[in-house]
Amino acid sequence: MQVYTINKARLWQSLMDMAKIGATDKGGCCRLALTDLDKQARDLYIQWAKDAGCDIKIDQVGNIRATRPGTDSTLPPVGTGSHLDTQPTGGKFDGVFGVLAGLEVIRSLNDHQIKTRHPIEISVWTNEEGSRFAPAMMGSGVVSGRFTLDEILNKTDVEGIRLGDELERIGYAGTEPVTGRAYKAFFETHIEQGPYLEAEGKMIGVVTGGQGQRWYDVELIGQESHAGTTPMHLRTDALTCASSLILAVQSIAKANKPGCGTVGFMQVLPNSRNTIPGKITMSIDLRHPEDQALTAMDEALKAKIEALEADTGVKIALTPIWYYAPIPFDPDCIAAVREAAEALDYSHMDIIAGAGHDACYVSDFAPTSMVFTPCLNGISHNEIESTTAEECEAGCAVLFNAMLTLAQIEA
């Protein structure tokens, strides 16, 4: 297989330039979905994509598509892409790498003066992180039909601001329909966000699927009362009960290896040091690569909540807000990634994605796979998230050559 190179220095420079938008003191990025900073990142990316000769379209949920035409306009595009939004304490690479690796593919096609039969298309998907507006992967989820457009436009953040209003405000409420998308194939490049590639000394993760997820909102109602006058046996303390629930989430995950369970968000009311907490709002995130085990985790959680209510008198409302079963990727796309890694002489291993990715939803309507690269100490969703120019080059080169296999070079 003939292999084609990308421009490592240009890719790295673009990553560093994009990282200035929302740069944090500790070297990360805070660019929450649909904020002014998200708009700035989108604007810069569109400028770069136009400079590379792409045609730009924005759909009704704010997804951006940048297309390099193929020689046969009747053929569906070979797609790639990821997201530009970040966690509140995010890094420089989660999501952004997948978008800018796509841009580097197009810039490299231009350098090599390669024409492809299929168009090449990069997507920036709206609100992948699910941090400001829950759940995650909204833009790709609307296009895949997992969510309706209206349901997503009506989501609100903790301040009650509507997603649809924010899209309008930043100028990204597009007109392109969210339905009817088709790809010949779709690949997403991403840092692994976990420790396995580094531990095994491999450069490339050939991603064979993504684990399933269940997200919940939880409300615990106890009784506010005086911290000094209420005897311990007469309290209905919502926070102590929430603490037991958090520990139960941890135990449930540990009992269902390799499942994960996390409480990442919590609000305590009235949050006053001498009043017993009366109301807690919190999130629960459960994940597992096997659906049966994810169901067992869900059942264990519900049973624990029933027991806690009986023991403590605290009322607990568990609202499931998101579920998707584990996603198997397409065998041909997986093979294209593996073959590209081999042809480029990169060490590689098969791996399952632990994080949520837009590719998981794209795989509903297109043959899909992903390319992973290592990140330092497996740390992500953290400002210190780190990777090297060589690792980015490797992931982008594998993406480029896998996409070329599917897009067919015009002789």
Q: Does residue 129 bind ligand GLV (CB under 6 A)?
A: yes
Give least dist CB 85 to ligand GLV, A: 9
Rule CB under 6 A: choose which of 356, 367, 374, 395 binds ligand GLV: 356
Task: Compare residues 283 and 388 and give the one whose CB is closer to ligand GLV.
Answer: 283
Chain residues in the site for Mn ion (CB under 5 A): 94-95, 355-356
129 carries a ligand binding annotation: yes
Conformational region of residue 66, where left means phi above 0, alpha means psi within -120 to 50, and beta covers everything else = beta
* 238 and 222 Cβ atoms separated by less than 8 Å: yes
Give least dist CB 97 to ligand GLV, A: 13
Spatial distance between the Cα atoms of 410 and 383, rounded to a whole number of angstroms:
43
Interface size with ligand GLV, residues (CB under 6 A): 4
Per-residue x/- mask for ligand GLV, residues 48 to 87, rule CB under 6 A?
----------------------------------------
83 carries a ligand binding annotation: yes
111 carries a ligand binding annotation: no
Give the helix/strand (H/E) hosting 164. Answer: helix 163-169
Give the list of residues 6+ apart from residue 245 with CB closer than 8 angstroms, or none: 218, 220, 263, 282, 304, 305, 308, 316
Task: Compare residues 85 and 104 and give the one whose CB is closer to ligand GLV.
Answer: 85
288 carries a ligand binding annotation: no
Q: Which two tokens stand for residue 308?
A: 């806690």
Give the list of residues 6+ apart from residue 206 with CB closer than 8 angstroms, or none: 334, 337, 338, 341, 348, 349, 350, 351, 369, 371, 372
Give the helix/strand (H/E) hosting 187. Answer: strand 185-191
Over the range 188-204, which residues count as b (16 or more CB within 10 Å of their CB) and which as e?
bbbbbbbebbeeeebbb
Q: Does residue 383 bind ligand GLV (CB under 6 A)?
A: no
Give least dist CB 353 to Mn ion, A: 9
Which residues inside 131-170 make contact with ligand GLV, applying CB under 6 A?
136
- Beta bridge partners of residue 205, listed in sequence order: 349, 372
Residue 220: which of ligand GLV, Mn ion, none does it interact with, CB under 5 to 8 A by kind? none
Residue 34: which of Mn ion, ligand GLV, none does it interact with, CB under 5 to 8 A by kind? none
25 carries a ligand binding annotation: no
* 206 and 348 Cβ atoms separated by less than 8 Å: yes
Give least dist CB 228 to Mn ion, A: 44
Give least dist CB 115 to ligand GLV, A: 35
Q: Where does this chain bind ligand GLV (CB under 6 A)?
A: 129, 136, 355-356
Q: Binding site, residues?
A: 83, 94, 129, 190, 381
Q: Binding site for Zn(2+), residues?
A: 83, 94, 129, 190, 381
